[in-house]
Amino acid sequence: MPKLKEFIADFGWPRIIIFFFLISLFIAAPFVGVRLDASISDVLNRFGQYAILVLALVPMVQAGCGLNFGMALGIVAGLLGSTLSLQFGMKGMFGFLGAIVLATPFSLIFGFMYGKLLNKVKGEEMTIAMYVGFSFVMLMCIMWLILPYNNPTMVWGYAGKGLRTTISVENYWNKVLNDFLAIRIGRFFVFPTGLLLFVAAAAGGMWMFLRSKTGTAMTAVGSNPDYARASGISVDKMRTISVVLSTFLGAVGIIVYEQSFGFIQLYSAPSPMVFPAIAALLIGGASVNKATMVNVVVGTFLFQGLLTMTPSVINSILQTDMSEVIRIIVSNGMILYALTRKTKVTK
Amino acid sequence: MGQDSPLLALRAVSKDFYGNVVLQDVSFDLRAGEILGLVGENGAGKTTLMSILFGMPVIAETGGFKGSILIDGQEVHFGSPFDALDAGIGMVHQEFSLIPGFTTTENIVLNRESMRPSILNEVFGDRMSILDRSDMKKRSESAIAKLGVNLDPGMLVSEMPVGHKQFTEIAREISRKATRILVLDEPTAVLTESEADVLLATLKRLSSEGIAIIFISHRLKEVVDIADRIVVLRDGHAVKDVPAKGVSVRDIASWMVGRSMTDAAAASKDKLFGAEILSVEHLWVDMPGETVRDVSIRVRQGEILGIGGLAGQGKLGIPNGVMGLYPSGGVVTLQGKAVPLNEPRTALKAGMAFVSEDRRGVGLLLDESLDWNIAFTAMQIHGQYLKKIAGGLFTQRDEAGMKKLCEEYIQLLDIKCTGTKQKAKELSGGNQQKICLAKAFAMKPELLFVSEPTRGIDVGAKRLVLDTLRHYNRDYGTTIVMVSSELEELRSICDRIAIVDEGRIAGILPPTADIADFGLLMAGMKVDTTAEVANA
C-alpha cells in the first residue's frame, strides 16, 4: 500500500486519471461502433507525428530555460526548409531529408539569436519565449507573402505569387517515413515502422547527448547554474546550445509532422502547434526543469491517444463534436497544473 | 528620581531559538543622557537583544523571551515595534529602512505627516486630509538642525550619499517628540571616517540633550571615544558592564573574544613548509557585502592558512575572487604561473578547488544524485569519469566510475546516506558539507580554498570536517586556505591566521598569539605582528 501511494504521488494524479480515461475509451470504442484496430493505428500514427516536437522541448527544460513556448521559431525554420525543398522540386526520401538539411541553417541562426535573447531574461524565459514565438510567426506571415517562391503547387493561383495557407506535399514526400517498411494488417491497421524508427533514433540520440559531457553540463546548468559556474561551466553557452538544439529539433519535428499529415501549414499555423507539445511533455511527468525520454514517450502517447480517441468515441456517445473542447481543456489544464507545481523543485 | 532611576532597564533577559540559547540572563541599565556602547562578536546576541527591546515580531514568533524590560521603573511588554515607538524607543537599523523614491522630508515624517483638513473630510473622514508640506518641511528642518548636519530636505533618498541616508534615519527617529532612547546598530559601518566623526559628534550632542543612546559598533575605538559605559556581550552573556573611562580598546577586544584556549593549537610547531605556492597581489573583489579592496597574501606549500575577520569585512570575497566567481582584479600566481581572474575554469584547471560558503546555493546540485555532485567538477575540468565512444568522437558518462568514486568518499568521510543515487537535498547539513568537500577532493587540488566549512552544522560533523581537512593537509600535502568567522576554529587548525578588516589584511598572526591581538585586528586597530610570521 505505501508503495502504491508513493508511486501515485510520483506519477501524479492527473497522469493516472488520463491513463484510465484513455483505457476506458479503448474499452468503450467497440461498443459505439469505432474500430479498435483503426483507432490503435491512428494513435501510433499521431504519436510518431508529434513525438519529435515534444522531444524538442527536452534540451531547454534540462538547461533550465523552461518550457520552450517559443518553439514556433523552430517550426518556422522547418517550414522554410520544407517549402524550399518543394520549390527545388525535391521528391521522396531525398525531398524529406533535403527539407531537413535546408531547414538546418535557419534553425541554427534562429536558435542562436533566440538563445542570446533568453540569456538576457533569465528567470522570465517562458513569458518572453511565448511573445517571441507569437511575434515571429506574425513577421513570417508577411514573409510568406513576399518571398519569391514560384512553384505553382505552392503559390496563390490568382496572383502567381505569395504562398498559400496550406500546401500539399502529395507529389513530393507525402508519408515517406510512415510508409517506410510499414506493416499492414487487414484493411484498417498500419504500423508506421519508418516513422517510429525515426522517432526512436531521435530519442536515442537525445538520450546519449544528455549522457555526454556537454549534456551532463547542460543538466547541471538547469539544476543549479551557480554550481555549474563554480565548476567552470559557461552557463550562457550551455543555455544557448540547448536553445539551438531545441529549435533545430522543432524544425525536424514539423517536417516529420508534415510528411505524415500530408500538408505544409503556413501563416499563423505554427503557434497552435506549441501548446499541445508542451502539454504532452507535462502529461508525461516532466517538470519545468526536469524531463526524460520516458516523459516524452509516455506523454505523447497519452496526449495523442486522448486526442485520437475522444472525437470518435465521445462524439459517437454524445452525438456532438466535443473533441476540440476536450483537447483545449486537457492541454491548457495540464500546462496550468505543471506551472503551479513549479515550486516543488528545489532551487 | 532623576539621574538615579534608570530610564531603561533590562532584567535577566534570556532568549533561545528552538533550544539554541543566544541570550542568557542579560541585564543592564540605561540612564537619561547616557551613551551605552554595546559590543560583541558576530553571533554574540547583539541583534537579538535589540530585536527584543524593539518588540520585533520575530521574537514572539519564536516563542518570546524570558526576563523583563523596564522603562521608568515600569515593566513594559511590546507586542510590536509600534509599541516600542510609543514608549519612546527609536531604532536606526543596520540596513537602511528608507523609501528611495521619497525625499528626506517625506522619509523623516513618514506616517506622521502634518495634515490639513480638506472638504472631503466631511464625507470620508480624516484619511482624505491634505498633506501640509510647508509644516512637514519645517519639522524635518528642525530635526536636521537638532542633528547639526547639512541635509537637503527636498533631496530624494535614492540620490543621497550613504552618509546622508544614515543621518536621515537618525533625523526620523529624533523627530518623534517622544523619543528618549535611541538605538543605533552599526551606524558607522557604511560611513567614511569624516562622516563617522560628524555622526559621533551629533550623538554626543543628542545625549547632552537628555536622549539615552545605545551604540552598537564593531569599531571599538569609536565605542571607547563616545560611550559613557560599555557592555560586552559574549556568547549570549553580558560578560562586562563597566564605565568607559580608563578602558582601553585592547581590554574590550580580549573581553569580546576571550574564550579559554582550546587544545591542538600548537600542533604546527614541527611542520615544515615548502616554497611559496600561491601569491596574491593587490586583489580586489566586487562581492556584494564582502568587498575586498586590496589584499596581498602569500601561501606556502603544505600549510593551512586561516582567514578570519568580522562579517562583511571581505574575508569571504578572497576565495570567491581568486576562484573567479565574482568580478575581481589583481595578480594571482599559483606555482609561479599567473592565473587569470574572472574565469572559474582556469582557476580550477590550474589546480585550485573551492568549497563555497554558500553550500546550498553554489556548493550542491540539490536535485541531482550524490555521485553527480561529487564527480561533476572533475568530469568537466579534467575529463574524468567519461567513456569515449566511436573512437573519441563523443563521450558518455562513466556511471560505474562515478559510483565507485562516490562510494569511496561515502566511506572515507562517513557520509550518512541511503546510497550513491540519493538526492543531495535529502541529506543533513553536515553530510551536505562532506559532499562539498568530497567534490573538492575529487579534483585532487594543489590548493584548496574552504569557506566557512562548519557553518550551520552540528558539533560532531564540525569535528569530522576539521579532522578531514587536517588529514588531507598532513597526509597528502594539500595546501589549505580556510576562511571562517569562528576564530577558535581557525586557531585550532591553522598554521597562520590572517585577519581581514575593511577589505584589507589587517595583520597575520600565529594561532598562539594573544587573543586580544586578534580582537584588535578585527576592530581595525594596529597590532605589532611579529616580523617572521608576517613575512614568512
User: Could you tell me which residues come within 8 angstroms of residue A110 by beta carbon, excluding any fewer than 6 positions away?
Assistant: A73, A74, A76, A77, A136, A247
Mean pLDDT over B493-505 rounds to 90
C-alpha distance from residue B394 to each of A210, A237, B87 (Å) = 12, 18, 72
Contacts of A231 in chain B (CB under 8 A): 344, 348, 376-377, 380-381
B268 vs A76, higher pLDDT: A76
Longest Cα–Cα distance of chain B, Å, equals 93
**pLDDT score of B284:** 92
Interface check for A342 against chain B (CB to CB < 8 A): the answer is no
User: Could you tell me which residues come within 8 angstroms of residue B438 by beta carbon, excluding any fewer than 6 positions away?
Assistant: B374, B406, B409, B412, B413, B415
Interface check for A226 against chain B (CB to CB < 8 A): the answer is yes
**In terms of C-beta density within 10 A (0-12 exposed, 13-18 middle, 19 or more buried), how is residue B37 classed?**
buried
Taking the CB of residue B492, how many other CB atoms lie within 10 A of it? 18
Query: Is A345–B367 a contact, with Cβ atoms under 8 angstroms apart?
Result: yes
B260 vs B373, higher pLDDT: B373
- Please state the domain extents for chain B: 1-88+181-187+210-258, 96-177, 265-351+445-535
- DSSP character at residue B319: H
Domains and CATH numbers, chain A: 10-339 (1.10.3470)
Q: How many residues does chain B have?
A: 536
**pLDDT score of A162:** 86
Contact B292, B314 (CB under 8 A): yes
Mean pLDDT over A77-96 rounds to 92
Quote the CATH superfamily of domain B1-88+181-187+210-258: P-loop containing nucleotide triphosphate hydrolases (3.40.50.300)
Q: What is the pLDDT of residues A218-273, one digit of tens each?
A: 999 998 999 999 999 999 999 999 999 999 999 999 999 999 999 999 888 998 88
Is the confidence at residue B266, as pLDDT, over 50? no
Interface check for A345 against chain B (CB to CB < 8 A): the answer is yes
**In terms of C-beta density within 10 A (0-12 exposed, 13-18 middle, 19 or more buried), how is residue A85 classed?**
buried
**pLDDT score of B276:** 87
Query: Is B377–A217 a contact, with Cβ atoms under 8 angstroms apart?
Result: no
Mean pLDDT over A289-318 rounds to 84
- B2 pLDDT band, cuts 50/70/90, is very low
Q: What is the pLDDT of residues B470-491, one digit of tens each?
A: 888 888 888 999 998 888 888 8
Contacts of A208 in chain B (CB under 8 A): 394, 396
Contacts of A229 in chain B (CB under 8 A): 325, 344
The whole-angstrom separation of Cα B212 and Cα B34 is 5
Mean pLDDT over B325-340 rounds to 90
Q: Do domains B1-88+181-187+210-258 and B265-351+445-535 have the same CATH topology?
A: yes
Nearest CA-CA partner of A255 in A88, A67, A111, A49: A49
Q: What is the pLDDT of residues A39-59, one digit of tens each?
A: 889 899 999 999 999 999 999
Longest Cα–Cα distance of chain A, Å, equals 69
Extended beta strands in B244-383, E state: 276-285, 292-300, 304-309, 328-334, 337-338, 352-355
Is the confidence at residue A204, as pLDDT, over 90? yes
Interface check for A224 against chain B (CB to CB < 8 A): the answer is yes
- A338 pLDDT band, cuts 50/70/90, is low
**pLDDT score of A2:** 66
Interface check for A219 against chain B (CB to CB < 8 A): the answer is yes
Is the confidence at residue B536, as pLDDT, over 70? no
Is the confidence at residue B92, as pLDDT, over 80? yes
**In terms of C-beta density within 10 A (0-12 exposed, 13-18 middle, 19 or more buried), how is residue A250 classed?**
buried
Is the confidence at residue B428, as pLDDT, over 80? no
Query: Is B397–A217 a contact, with Cβ atoms under 8 angstroms apart?
Result: no
* Fold of the CATH domain B265-351+445-535: Rossmann fold (3.40.50)
The whole-angstrom separation of Cα B355 and Cα B337 is 22
B516 vs A339, higher pLDDT: B516
B266 vs A146, higher pLDDT: A146
Query: Is B362–A226 a contact, with Cβ atoms under 8 angstroms apart?
Result: yes
- A342 pLDDT band, cuts 50/70/90, is low
Contact B468, B437 (CB under 8 A): yes
Can you read off the three cell numbers belonging to residue A119? Answer: 540569456
Contact B131, B113 (CB under 8 A): yes
Is the confidence at residue A92, as pLDDT, over 60? yes
Average pLDDT, chain B: 83
**pLDDT score of B425:** 84
Give alpha helix (H) positions in B357-458: 370-382, 399-412, 429-441
Is the confidence at residue B16, as pLDDT, over 50? yes
Is the confidence at residue B6, as pLDDT, over 70? yes
Look-up: residue for cell 517559443?
Answer: A70
Is the confidence at residue B203, as pLDDT, over 60? yes
- B263 pLDDT band, cuts 50/70/90, is very low
Q: How far is CA A28 from the centre of its chain?
A: 29
Query: Is B380–A230 a contact, with Cβ atoms under 8 angstroms apart?
Result: no
**pLDDT score of B259:** 54
Q: Supply the Cα-derived Rg of chain A in whole angstroms.
A: 20
- B210 pLDDT band, cuts 50/70/90, is confident
Inter-chain contacts counted by CB atoms under 8 A, chains A and B: 77
The proportion of chain B whose per-residue pLDDT surpasses 90, expressed as a percent, equals: 16
Look-up: residue for cell 507586542?
Answer: B79
Average pLDDT, chain A: 87
Nearest CA-CA partner of A68 in A291, A235, A301, A283: A291
